[in-house]
Chains A and B, each alone.
Chain A
């Protein structure tokens, strides 16, 4: 049983779950409405109490949409940030907070971090399992965008080789991210620091030429300017990692004694398993710290998961309150048309027909509210995603998955069961009493 379930495609599983959730609704609907045509009367009630109905529908929609929007947004942010970090298998930095280091090296958030020296870099770069050991030197900016010093291998790896123009070939050239407002051939002078504290004059006289543009990656690196790490060192008046005899050559290997230091080294191993061995090896007390950004994110998501659960509980509480008020509303509204329902009974309508009318009316409100709620949730997630993407450059895509749809369907189904209560209550009062009212 379990095996055959697991062997089904995910979509089939979702559809089956959705069907199972809707089953109570369909069964009740089928049993109540079989052979009857209650819809004209449901329509009449919808029109008669249109303002109250609209209010109920909006109430259901907002409460459903809130829950769905939150869940969808949380997932979008989680997937977006994980994808933005996907290229960063292993990060080696000086010991400190993994979170701070990850935000600085992977998400390019400005922060002052200690440096790794040439010996440490050399040890990493020369490890047999290491394919790319990219120094990441940040701290400068242009027009708010971080200017990051690194090596060509890393630029190729980061962009999957999708570069318009060419990669930098000598100090003083730059490859820009897709979201940078500079054209190939443009020249700029980097400012020292980032944000409001950036000093535009510090590097006066330095001119960097844009020679290439990376394709969009959906990560903060879309808004970064990549230059040879040597250039970063040079504009700060430091050694550039190479001896005088090497001339203008850029990139590894570097001479450890002439290596001014780098805040972080992004490591890419030849094989997947090697990353785990490298993490153990590059974690050296008091010297270096190695971590998987994926693991740091996982810790973060666990916290986010707790917050999400708390929010889910709140949104469920909201939903239950809304459900209660909708039920109460149904009670009140059914009182208002109790005489007409009694008239139906007097004309000879079976109980089941009267129930079908009242239940159908309630379920129409619920279905309309839930459908609108899904739309609301999607719209909310869309707007939130735009804002987050704009502020962080982490590409957050809003999407409504079957999980949300099924959540909404579950709510709908449970409420449709509860809607039987007002329908039953209508029938408990004697017809004659209701006729006399």
Chain B
């Protein structure tokens, strides 16, 4: 289930150094948001804060849940239930089949959810046109691998999709095809998508783009639109 995002006075530090501050930000459930900015500006840090992978101060609410206030294991559980993550270099298990990679969450989710996860993984793989069969993903192209990764993110039916440079490892054609699929699936499923990217083709297809420089949101197309 997609949830609205509400941020106020968010701070992320590494020791004394301030990595990121976001004074005020909100987004409705089902929004497709891009984050851009120069390297090292704090884009990934923002994504990690949004997914609860790092400690943060202030309010960062997904729906009713204020993520920074949760203990790490509760954040992990929240992530497992509500988020699908997509990485730049896919992070697949080369030795496993596409089906097993896509259904990876089933290995640690309660038994009763396993079947549903497997079914959704299979459906997503089919929808994304990943070749069927038992071979491992070791022989797959970059585009095929990222499709498996997307299927893995969708297998738990999360309300939120968080992607870190999902097209950066792909050639143009593969990237464009992937953008089509990713945004299409997010909209069709009513999911919130937040993607860190340099790829203008991707950013163009999103509802709203934030620019982060020096740990601050310096531009927000959503605000202008509002």
Contact = CB atoms under 8 A, between A and B. Distances in A.
Given A339-B91, A340-B93, A350-B73, A41 B107 contact: yes
Most central of B81, B104, B110, B111 by chain A CB within 10 Å: B104
Contact of B53 (A36, A41, A432): A432
Interface in A189-210: none
Contact of A348 (B44, B76, B91, B94): B76
Contact of A353 (B83, B85, B100, B107): B107
A47 to B, nearest CB: 5
A152 B108 CA distance: 78
Contacts of B107: 36-38, 40-41, 349, 353
Contacts of A353: 107-108
A431 interface: yes
Contacts of A48: 94-95
B167 interface: no
Interface string B90-111: 0101111000100011111011
A386 interface: no
Contacts of A435: 53, 87
B53 A431 contact: yes
Interface in A383-432: 430-432
Most central of B51, B73, B76, B114 by chain A CB within 10 Å: B76
Q: Size range of the interface on A?
A: 20 to 34
Given A38-B107, A41-B107, A431-B53, A343 B76 contact: no
Contact of A432 (B48, B79, B100, B111): B48
Nearest to A431: B53
A102 B83 CA distance: 82
A126 B78 CA distance: 97
Given A347-B80, A353-B108, A40 B96 contact: yes
Interface in A38-59: 38, 40-41, 43-44, 47-48
B111 A35 contact: yes
Interface residues of B, number: 31
A346 interface: yes
Given A35-B111, A431-B53, A432-B48, A346 B85 contact: yes
Contacts of A348: 76-81, 83, 105, 108, 156
B54 interface: yes
A347 B93 contact: no
B95 A349 contact: no
Contacts of A335: none
Interface string A45-77: 001100000000000000000000000000000
Interface string B130-154: 0000000000000000000000100
Interface in A179-234: none
Most central of B79, B85, B91, B107 by chain A CB within 10 Å: B107
Given A36-B107, A38-B107, A43 B95 contact: yes
A269 to B, nearest CB: 72
A347 B79 contact: yes
Contacts of A339: 91
A308 interface: no
Contacts of B83: 348
B150 to A, nearest CB: 13
A351 interface: yes
Contact of A350 (B53, B77, B85): B77
Given A350-B76, A432-B53, A37 B105 contact: no
Given A37-B106, A41-B107, 16 more contacts: A35-B111, A48-B94, A339-B91, A340-B93, A344-B104, A346-B79, A347-B79, A347-B152, A348-B77, A348-B79, A348-B80, A350-B77, A350-B80, A350-B108, A432-B48, A432-B54
25 contacts: A35-B110, A36-B107, A40-B100, A40-B107, A44-B93, A48-B94, A339-B91, A340-B91, A344-B104, A344-B108, A345-B53, A346-B53, A347-B79, A347-B85, A347-B152, A348-B79, A348-B83, A348-B105, A348-B108, A348-B156, A350-B77, A350-B80, A350-B108, A432-B54, A435-B53
Interface of A: 35-38, 40-41, 43-44, 47-48, 339-340, 343-351, 353, 430-432, 435-436
Q: Identify the 4 closest CB pairs spanning chains A and B, nearest first.
A: A348-B80, A44-B95, A353-B108, A343-B91
